[in-house]
Amino acid sequence: MPAAWPQFPEAKLRAMADMPFSDIVATSLASFFDPDDDVPDGQALAAAMRKAYESFDADETVILRQLDESHYVLELFHGPTLAFKDVAMQALAQLYPWAQDGLTDAGSSRRKTILAATSGDTGGAAIAAFANTVDADIIVFHPKGRISEVQRRIMTTTPGSNISNIAIDDSFDVCQRLVKELFGDPALNEKLDLGGVNSINWVRLAIQASYYFATYARLGKASTFVVPTGNFGDIFAGYAAWRMGLPVLKLVAAVNENDIVHRAISSGDYSSGAVRATSAPSMDIQIASNFERLLFEAMGRDATRLRKVMTDFAASGAISVPADVLTAIQKLFSSGSATGSMTDKMIEQTWRRHDYLIDPHTAIGMVVAEQQRSKGVTGPIVTLSTAHPAKFPEAVARAAGVEPALPDRYADLFDREESLAVLPADVRAISSYILNCQAVRG
Ligand X SMILES: *Cc1c(COP(=O)(O)O)cnc(C)c1O
Any idea which residues carry the catalytic annotation?
85
Amino acid code (one letter) for 434: I
| Interatomic CA distance for residues 67 and 382, integer angstroms | 10
Q: Shortest Cβ distance from residue 14 to ligand X (Å)?
A: 27
Residue 123, interface with ligand X (CB under 6 A)? no
How, if at all, do strands 63-68 and 71-75 pair?
antiparallel
Residue 350: half-sphere exposure toward Cβ, Cα within 13 Å: 28
Sign of CA pseudo-dihedral 251, 301, 183, 131: positive
Residue 228, interface with ligand X (CB under 6 A)? yes
Q: By CB under 6 A, how many residues form the interface with ligand X?
A: 16
Q: Shortest Cβ distance from residue 359 to ligand X (Å)?
A: 7
Residue 83, interface with ligand X (CB under 6 A)? yes
Our CB check for ligand X shows the closer of 158 and 231 to be: 231
Residue 361, interface with ligand X (CB under 6 A)? yes
Our CB check for ligand X shows the closer of 86 and 170 to be: 86
Listed ranges 1-9, 95-103, 228-236, 331-339: which one lies at the site for ligand X (CB under 6 A) = 228-236
Residue 86, interface with ligand X (CB under 6 A)? no
Residue 292, interface with ligand X (CB under 6 A)? no
Our CB check for ligand X shows the closer of 71 and 142 to be: 142
Our CB check for ligand X shows the closer of 131 and 283 to be: 283
Q: Is 99 left (phi over 0), alpha (psi -120 to 50) or beta?
A: alpha
Region 187-206 residues binding ligand X, contact defined as CB under 6 A: 199
How, if at all, do strands 224-228 and 136-143 pair?
unpaired
| Interatomic CA distance for residues 284 and 172, integer angstroms | 7
Residue 387, interface with ligand X (CB under 6 A)? yes
Residue 386, interface with ligand X (CB under 6 A)? yes
Q: Shortest Cβ distance from residue 9 to ligand X (Å)?
A: 28
Alpha-carbon Rg for the chain, nearest whole angstrom, is 21
Q: Read out DSSP for 136-195?
A: EEEEEEEETT-S-HHHHHHHHT---TTEEEEEESS-HHHHHHHHHHHHT-HHHHHHH-EE
Listed ranges 31-39, 165-173, 222-230, 242-250: which one lies at the site for ligand X (CB under 6 A) = 222-230
Residue 71, interface with ligand X (CB under 6 A)? no
Listed ranges 11-19, 188-196, 232-240, 264-272: which one lies at the site for ligand X (CB under 6 A) = 232-240
Q: Shortest Cβ distance from residue 307 to ligand X (Å)?
A: 23
If we measure between CA atoms, which residue out of 94, 154, 164, 98 comes closest to residue 129? 94
Listed ranges 6-14, 224-232, 295-303, 423-431: which one lies at the site for ligand X (CB under 6 A) = 224-232
Beta strands per DSSP E along 198-354: 224-228, 250-255, 269-271, 318-320, 333-337
Our CB check for ligand X shows the closer of 121 and 370 to be: 121
Residue 408: strand, helix, or coil:
helix
Q: List beta partners, residue 244.
A: none
Our CB check for ligand X shows the closer of 387 and 395 to be: 387
Residue 282, interface with ligand X (CB under 6 A)? yes
If we measure between CA atoms, which residue out of 434, 421, 424 comes closest to residue 169? 424
Our CB check for ligand X shows the closer of 143 and 233 to be: 233
Q: Which of 40, 97, 233, 404 binds ligand X (CB under 6 A)?
A: 233
Q: Is 396 left (phi over 0), alpha (psi -120 to 50) or beta?
A: alpha
Q: Shortest Cβ distance from residue 176 to ligand X (Å)?
A: 11
Q: Shortest Cβ distance from residue 341 to ligand X (Å)?
A: 19
Our CB check for ligand X shows the closer of 16 and 387 to be: 387
Q: How far is CA 245 from CA 201, 251, 296, 305, 317, in A?
A: 22, 14, 19, 27, 34
Residue 121, interface with ligand X (CB under 6 A)? yes
Cα pseudo-dihedral 225, 174, 280, 334, rounded to 10: -30
Q: How far is CA 150 from CA 22, 94, 141, 251, 412, in A?
A: 28, 26, 16, 30, 11
Q: Which of 22, 210, 229, 383 binds ligand X (CB under 6 A)?
A: 229
Q: Shortest Cβ distance from residue 67 to ligand X (Å)?
A: 18
Chain contacts with ligand X (rule: CB under 6 A)? 83, 85, 121, 199, 228-234, 282-283, 361, 386-387
